[in-house]
Structure 1
Amino acid sequence: MNLNINDKYPSVTDLRQKAQKKIPKFAFEYLDGGCNEDVNLHKNTAEIRDVELLPYYLSKHTGSNMQTELFGHTYDAPFGIAPVGLQGLMWPNAPEILAKAAFEHNVPFILSTVTTSSIERISEITEGQAWFQLYHPTENSLRDDVIKRAASAECPVLVILCDVPTFGFRPRDIRNGLAMPPKMSVKNIMQILGKPEWALKTLIHGQPSFETLKPYMPKNLDLRQLGKFMDDTFSGRLNEEKIKPIRDMWKGKLVLKGVANEADAEKAVRLGLDGIIVSNHGGRQLDAGESTIKPLSRIAKAYGDKLTVMMDSGLRSGPDVARTLASGAEFTFMGRSFMYGVAALGEKGGNHTISLIKRELQQVMEQICCEEVKDFPNHLIKDI
């Protein structure tokens, strides 16, 4: 494989450390933090890494192939880039950098409703291959218009979010006065002055804003008005009655993200959804909940033959992807790993991080004698 990586940053941990040095503290803490005491943030990754894989060293091995078919498209690896809000706050132009890298590597990129590039721009970069994640609007007219825009942009998959019925309690962000745009306290201004490359890039690309939502927002909102607009515009609490009209309207593949138990997976099957992403929003919503790998194993066993079961939250590396696939996921997504890469390496960060994780995953497959992604469950030792 021709996977070029920067030898100074041969792990996501290296990228995280570099990112912390390059971006303002308020931006890094928004990216890096969970909610409340960060219990589930750390548990997510720790419990994925309790999963153990069985190598077969004397088996005949003709090579390992990472290609994975998902919703009729053959991707070059079994992982994609998860939706992340406020990406341009963490590194200017981040969603476009990551969308371009994902397209070049033939892996899926999911655009969040509340990130800093528009549906149309990301569709242009990816030639209509990007997925779109919908925060459910309060008004049906706005919901319908956003869905029509995603369809016009040829997004093959619509992801609807169910794990944000209320915004997570995040002490760091409260202390930092984080909003869009960020509150310019003296403390935040000093942080910006200490990160000149970030400041210059932000000046060049302009103040980040919710590009997809611009057509629906009154002009010149101040911070208080913007917060009220977001509260009034979106209702994160989903139910079956809200999902049914989306299923009727959307002709492409429809995925529910944020599933954390068998009951919700059963409802997704009943509603005719094509897939689910087992997720706890990266540990940013419910500190007292389970890690993602535990319900994944149960849900995959119960419903893996009825719809496509995927997972995000807690994965950081190629070995984490392998552990998750062995535990029953058909595909995986990561958010923080790719944002660390872009914050650390700018324009080169997307390609570097995707190449790094591909190389790590390829090594694991060859080491354990796993020839196809679908064979990972045959190498599972410890099912948690």
Structure 2
Amino acid sequence: MSTNLLQYNTKYPSVADLKRKAKKRVPKFAFDYLEGGCNDELNVWRNEEDFKNVFLMPQYLKQHRGVNMQTELFGHTYDAPFGIAPVGLQGLMWPNAPEILAKAALKHNVPYILSTVSTSSIERIAELTESKFWFQLYHPTDNELRDDLLRRLEAVNCDVLVVLIDVPSFGLRYREIKAGLSMPPKQTINNFIQAAMCPTWGIETLRVGIPSFATLKPYMKKGMDMKQLGKFMNATFTGRVDAEKVQAIRDKWKGKLVIKGVVSEEDATICANIGVDGIIVSNHGGRQIEAGESTIKPLKGLANKFKSKYKVMIDSGLRSGPDIGRALACGADFTFMGRPFMYGVGALGKEGGDHTIAMLKAQLKQVMEQVCCETVHDFPATLIK
């Protein structure tokens, strides 16, 4: 047995294993929220499948002096070229999931991105990570709310601000509609039954408390019912984030600024003109548009053209160490994953973050040894074009 595998629970050596276990422990309505994509979910499938068509060339006779996965990004040297992508309503899928993952990210020295609509607050995640976290901003329709969120981030010395641009409207996700998780959300008998069938999830939820949009609590009226909550979310976060809005944030935000949801050369050019520090090539995990491309498709062209101007990163569709290697070979400076880490906490609870990070590190190390990469910067030379 590989010594790499001894670093984590060998019953779950892959993301697929974690997913199967998580599906048994998480209520169906919550698991469907995590899994669901826009319309018939073809772009969720496409994201994963297109990674499988990227090939790397192994080299065996060349001298290899070992593997170093350290990656410098925005003045910080991380221990691996991947991080934890933002996921909304994390605490719905597994109680205390944001805190579990934030702690694991700090321990393993990889970035954790907190979503505006996650279930832990800016201040709590800053405390747990010693302020070594990133924040994904759902741009509010109210500029005063935007400015207050920026003020709170500055107050806790947040490392990097990630502005999400791919939600001009919420995706039409059939699983969420059927489960009553659209806006406004509905409480259904089926959801209660599904929760009852997952006792560990239920006990942990009772212990931790019902999940809520913790970062947004100061802006909500107390005692909102489900219908009022839905109206608040629709009124507060529906709208296009255009170049003017990004420029306004660039003018205000003194830290590193990353734009997430870039897939076109036109948007990438606008980002360069504004002077952002990086982009994340992303299609929101296939949750916003079914007819779009997978993220790996535009990555190479965007990296070739824009890497001299800012960092080019990617999320959506990565499920393994080999996928991380594929993305790096296609020109990505860094990679992020969302669903795999949620499978990890869904399957293993408090140990899920540690397990998933260690597992991905072991998988990536094995790939680097096969293709004779000593550093992550060597991957582009291994790409079979």
Which bin holds the TM-score, normalised by the shorter protein? over 0.9
CA RMSD of aligned residues (A): 1.2
2: CA distance, partners of 1:122 / 1:71: 20
Question: What is the match of residue 78 of structure 2?
Answer: 75
2: CA distance, partners of 1:89 / 1:181: 16
Give SS of 2:31's match: helix
User: Is this contact kept in 1: 2:184–2:227, CA < 8 A?
Assistant: no
| Cα distance change, pair 180–115 in 1 and its aligned pair in 2 (3 A) | farther
Superimposed CA distance per residue, residues 343-380 of structure 1 (whole angstroms, 9 cap, x where no aligned partner):
00000000000000000000000111001111100000
Aligned-partner residue type, residue 24 of structure 1? P
Question: What is the match of residue 202 of structure 1?
Answer: 205
Aligned-partner residue type, residue 90 of structure 1? M
Question: What is the match of residue 292 of structure 1?
Answer: 295
2: CA distance, partners of 1:95 / 1:153: 17
User: Is this contact kept in 2: 1:135–1:236, CA < 8 A?
Assistant: no
Give SS of 2:261's match: strand
2: CA distance, partners of 1:120 / 1:307: 28
2: CA distance, partners of 1:353 / 1:268: 32
**Which residue, out of 36, 41, 61, partners 1:33?**
36
- Cα deviation for residue 180 of structure 1 reads 8.2
Question: What is the match of residue 215 of structure 1?
Answer: 218
Question: What is the match of residue 148 of structure 2?
Answer: 145
- Structure 1 window deviating more from structure 2 (202-211 vs 184-193): it is 184-193
Are 2:323 and 1:320 aligned? yes
- Structure 1 window deviating more from structure 2 (123-132 vs 240-249): it is 240-249
Give SS of 1:231's match: helix
5+ unaligned residues in a row in structure 1: which ranges?
Answer: none
User: Is this contact kept in 2: 1:192–1:198, CA < 8 A?
Assistant: yes
- Cα deviation for residue 223 of structure 1 reads 1.1
User: Is this contact kept in 2: 1:256–1:268, CA < 8 A?
Assistant: yes
**Which residue, out of 126, 131, 134, partners 1:131?**
134
User: Is this contact kept in 1: 2:184–2:230, CA < 8 A?
Assistant: no
2: CA distance, partners of 1:41 / 1:235: 23
Are 2:175 and 1:172 aligned? yes
2: CA distance, partners of 1:338 / 1:140: 32
2: CA distance, partners of 1:146 / 1:253: 15
- Cα deviation for residue 49 of structure 1 reads 1.3
**Which residue, out of 41, 46, 56, partners 1:43?**
46
Are 2:284 and 1:281 aligned? yes
2: CA distance, partners of 1:122 / 1:8: 30
Are 2:158 and 1:155 aligned? yes
Question: What is the match of residue 188 of structure 1?
Answer: 191
Question: What is the match of residue 109 of structure 1?
Answer: 112
Give SS of 1:310's match: strand
2: CA distance, partners of 1:246 / 1:182: 31
Give SS of 1:276's match: strand
Superimposed CA distance per residue, residues 168-198 of structure 1 (whole angstroms, 9 cap, x where no aligned partner):
0100100000158963211111101101110
Give SS of 2:158's match: coil
Aligned residues: 382
Give SS of 1:83's match: coil
Question: What is the match of residue 267 of structure 1?
Answer: 270
Superimposed CA distance per residue, residues 186-215 of structure 1 (whole angstroms, 9 cap, x where no aligned partner):
111110110111001000011000000000
Give SS of 2:136's match: strand
Could you state the TM-score of these two structures normalised by the residue count of structure 1?
0.98
Aligned-partner residue type, residue 197 of structure 2? G
Are 2:116 and 1:120 aligned? no
2: CA distance, partners of 1:117 / 1:181: 21
| Cα distance change, pair 13–213 in 1 and its aligned pair in 2 (3 A) | same
Superimposed CA distance per residue, residues 59-83 of structure 1 (whole angstroms, 9 cap, x where no aligned partner):
1111111000000000000000000
Aligned-partner residue type, residue 267 of structure 2? D
- Cα deviation for residue 33 of structure 1 reads 1.6
